[in-house]
Structure 1
Amino acid sequence: MDLTSGAFFALIVAVLVVLTVLVLALWNRIPGPKAVRHGGRLGLLLLNQAVAVLVALVWLNNTYAFYESWDDLLGNNGNQVALGPDGATPKVGAAALGGLQPKGTRSALSFDPYKRDVLISTAVGPSSRLRGELYVWLPPQYHEAAYQDKAFPVIELLPGQPGSPRTWFGALDVDRKLSGLIASQQTHPFILVAVTMNYTGIKDTGCTNIPNGPQADTWLAKDVPWLIKHSLRAAPDARHWAVMGYSAGGYCAVNLIVKHPSVFHSAVSLSGYNTPDSPFVVHNPALRAANSPVLRLRRMAAQPDIALLLAGSLQDGRTVADARSLLAELSRPAHGTTLTVAHGGHNTAVWAAMLPTALEWLTKNTAGPVHTARGIRAVPPPHRHPSRKEEVHAATAAPSTAARR
């Protein structure tokens, strides 16, 4: 039974109800001396309260998608604190699905089915030596004859902390949302790639290269693009690549694009923040400065041509304020805008509601499929440069305030 399934939640709620009834029914019926009766009552209460806490924790996990499976919860998915052996070639999934890779190339990855049309592969980064999972969704056009000579734009998807890349295809349902938008010709046919981001258990890496630790920055900005470009018909130019994340992944998306504009052209932060909060980073002044997008942008003599969409809820602490303060640091050719919702906290329901607008924005700020026969060329997308202070309002209701998470 899946950790996030409705059946599991219903089961533990039913257990809680039964235990509550038993406590009431047996309270005055426990036999034996006084000490035994009191001990029995205490045991029933403790068991009842433990199950009540479990119900609350499962509800919180289902709401905020901290862990998508039992393996994620128990750390048995092979991607926590796992460094690949030096000199090893990437180890990949067991079953190769043919016809995906560029013509005349040998795929760096092999894929197994995950669910629906999503594929999964496990790889070791050639440079970072980190072992991680990649969940890949290919648009319907990828398999159509009319697109066989096309390379596709890519969105790299980052989870929160704690969190799992599976959340993108679970609670957020990004593949179904994008599929519908593609069918109505509102978005490009993007390749979606959700990747492992967390390598230090419950401690956040901050998507940085930690001295004597996981090289998360290298994995996300170098290894993942290399693996995808050498396995699928993915366009290699930065203008065809975007990065999007929620919460800690939103911070990482902005941090990565500011540090690696030659890899990504556009980024979306869903309820992210501006300053690193990883314990590996905040206590290291050099790392903190190097991984503060606001400071990096402020100190640049000339900012790169990047596009940012910073989304937040007016009821989610400082997410909107942080977005506006970061946009105030942009100067041409860097540009960006905000997406705001009036209601909702820091959870997957809010981020799922933001996704259609975010995907449409990415289409305007990321180049579409490109012919591969003549070589993939960098073609700027036909988008306009909005004002730094322009905002995309996803809701118009009057705002209210609340303390951030």
Structure 2
Amino acid sequence: MSLTSTPFFVLTILITICALVALFVFWNRIPGPRPARLGGRLGLALFSQLTAVVAVMVYVNNSMGPFYESWSDLFGGSSAPPVTTAVGGGGQHGHGGGQAGDGKLHFTEYSPGVMKARTVGARSGIDGSVYVWLPPQYRDPAYAQTSFPVVELLPGTPGTPQAWFGTMRVQDEMQKLMAQGKVKPMIMVSAKLNTLGGNTDAGCADIPGTAKTATWLAEDVPALVRSNFRAARGADGWGIMGYSAGAYCAVNLTVQHPETFRAAVSLSGYNTPESPLVTRDPSLARANNPYLLLKQAKQQPPVSFLMAGSLQDQGTVPAARALLGVLHQPGASRLLTVQTGGHTPDVWRGMLPAALTWLSARTASQGTAS
């Protein structure tokens, strides 16, 4: 039974109800000496509390994330063995089963307007899901020869990629802004960030002997999107946006891979790696510190940043100002602040209109005829 399925959530509710009924029914009916009766009552009380906590956690996971998409995400590991496949040229999205040698994927509907495919990165070997939203213009005959700009979306840690189309509702915001003429059509794609499952933070880095998360996000996912959709070929047509740990990752990947991304949005992010898997190696930590990389670079990459944070979310605005402060040529880079709100999806949803408008201006001009 799926961790995020409605039947599993209903099952947790039923178990909670049964536990409470058992607590009241058997409270004064437990046989044996007094210590045994007290122990039985304590056990019933603890079990009823535990079932209630599990039900609430399942509800929060499903409604605010999901933070964990599957049992393997929750406990770590992967349900599929690692394989290696080739990634080929671009074109229309594939309809075959699985992933072919040319990188074509079989997409199924995840939610209205959002497609999902399971794949394994050819260069990283990471097994993960990719979620894609196409603007309505993608299937309009008038745009049949158009390559669309792309925004890659990263969740926090723990978190799952579909949170962008669930809790964040980025597709709804895109529809509103396009109707208002504030943004141009862009493809939205979100891929697995928590590549090690459970609560293990992969640090958005290529960690020797562990996981090549950066390669997965900056090389494999873009290659797969280009292979399956009419997506912009050059880096000028690609942006990346994340919140919390995903915000740090978006900036870090843009600094390290300007050949893939030219614009990054950080929603309540930070500048230095926090994953113990990264920080335990000083050289790896330095290599994944976008602030230091920019500060020490004699020639900075031709990228731009929208750094956003709440004044009530301690550390995010100072971190944003610090990174913008080391840019040699700020150009289109901007600071976006809000007065109130913590480290929450409500704050990040409120930042979406400005973030998407900024990304559209940085990438939409690259949507050209194929």
TM-score, with structure 1 as normaliser: 0.79
- Asked if 1 retains the 8 angstrom alpha-carbon contact of 2:226 and 2:233, the reply is yes
- Asked if 2 retains the 8 angstrom alpha-carbon contact of 1:294 and 1:326, the reply is yes
* Residue number in structure 2 paired with 1:131: 127
Mapped to 1, the partners of 2:77 and 2:284 lie a distance apart of 30
Mapped to 1, the partners of 2:342 and 2:59 lie a distance apart of 15
SS of residue in 2 equivalent to 1:230? helix
Question: Which whole-Å deviations, capped at 9, do the CAs of 1:124-167 have from their partners, x for residues lacking one?
Answer: 22222323221111110000011011100000111222111111
Aligned residues: 359
Q: Which runs of 5+ in 2 are unaligned?
A: 97-101
Where do 1:18-37 residues align within 5 Å? 19-20=19-20, 23=23, 26-37=26-37
- Asked if 2 retains the 8 angstrom alpha-carbon contact of 1:313 and 1:344, the reply is yes
* Residue number in structure 1 paired with 2:229: 232
SS of residue in 1 equivalent to 2:353? helix
* Residue number in structure 1 paired with 2:275: 278
- How far 1:349 moved relative to its partner? 2.4
Q: 1:121 to 1:60 in 2, by over 3 A?
A: closer
* Residue number in structure 1 paired with 2:178: 182
* Residue number in structure 2 paired with 1:153: 149
* Residue number in structure 1 paired with 2:99: none
SS of residue in 2 equivalent to 1:73? helix
Where do 1:388-399 residues align within 5 Å? none
* Residue number in structure 2 paired with 1:216: 213
Q: Is 1:357 aligned with 2:354? A: yes
Q: Is 1:268 aligned with 2:265? A: yes
The more displaced of 53-62 and 360-369 is: 53-62
Q: 1:346 to 1:5 in 2, by over 3 A?
A: farther
From 320, 323, 331, the equivalent of 2:320 is 323
SS of residue in 2 equivalent to 1:151? coil
SS of residue in 1 equivalent to 2:190? strand
SS of residue in 1 equivalent to 2:194? coil
SS of residue in 2 equivalent to 1:367? helix
- How far 1:9 moved relative to its partner? 6.2
Amino acid at match of 1:324: R
- Asked if 2 retains the 8 angstrom alpha-carbon contact of 1:114 and 1:120, the reply is yes
Identical aligned residues as a percent:
46
Q: Which runs of 5+ in 1 are unaligned?
A: 99-105, 374-405
Mapped to 2, the partners of 1:41 and 1:258 lie a distance apart of 58
Amino acid at match of 2:68: Y
Amino acid at match of 1:342: Q
SS of residue in 1 equivalent to 2:207? coil
TM-score, with structure 2 as normaliser: 0.86
Question: Which whole-Å deviations, capped at 9, do the CAs of 1:79-132 have from their partners, x for residues lacking one?
Answer: 7xx6434xx4369xxx9449xxxxxxx663332222211111222222223232
* Residue number in structure 2 paired with 1:314: 311
* Residue number in structure 2 paired with 1:73: 74
Amino acid at match of 2:317: V
Mapped to 1, the partners of 2:4 and 2:282 lie a distance apart of 39
* Residue number in structure 2 paired with 1:342: 339
- Asked if 2 retains the 8 angstrom alpha-carbon contact of 1:182 and 1:189, the reply is yes
SS of residue in 2 equivalent to 1:114? strand
* Residue number in structure 2 paired with 1:383: none
- How far 1:296 moved relative to its partner? 0.5
Question: Which whole-Å deviations, capped at 9, do the CAs of 1:180-227 have from their partners, x for residues lacking one?
Answer: 222222211110110112222222121111112221111111121112
Amino acid at match of 2:145: D
Q: 1:41 to 1:356 in 2, by over 3 A?
A: same
Amino acid at match of 2:83: G
- Asked if 2 retains the 8 angstrom alpha-carbon contact of 1:306 and 1:333, the reply is no
Q: 1:16 to 1:107 in 2, by over 3 A?
A: closer
Structure 1 segments of 4+ aligned residues over 6 angstroms from their partners: 5-11
Mapped to 2, the partners of 1:361 and 1:289 lie a distance apart of 29
Q: 1:344 to 1:68 in 2, by over 3 A?
A: farther
Mapped to 1, the partners of 2:205 and 2:350 lie a distance apart of 29
* Residue number in structure 1 paired with 2:38: 38
* Residue number in structure 1 paired with 2:83: 84
SS of residue in 2 equivalent to 1:366? helix
- How far 1:362 moved relative to its partner? 1.0
From 116, 119, 127, the equivalent of 1:120 is 116
RMSD: 2.8
Q: 1:326 to 1:65 in 2, by over 3 A?
A: farther
Q: 1:25 to 1:107 in 2, by over 3 A?
A: closer
Q: 1:200 to 1:75 in 2, by over 3 A?
A: closer
Q: 1:68 to 1:122 in 2, by over 3 A?
A: closer
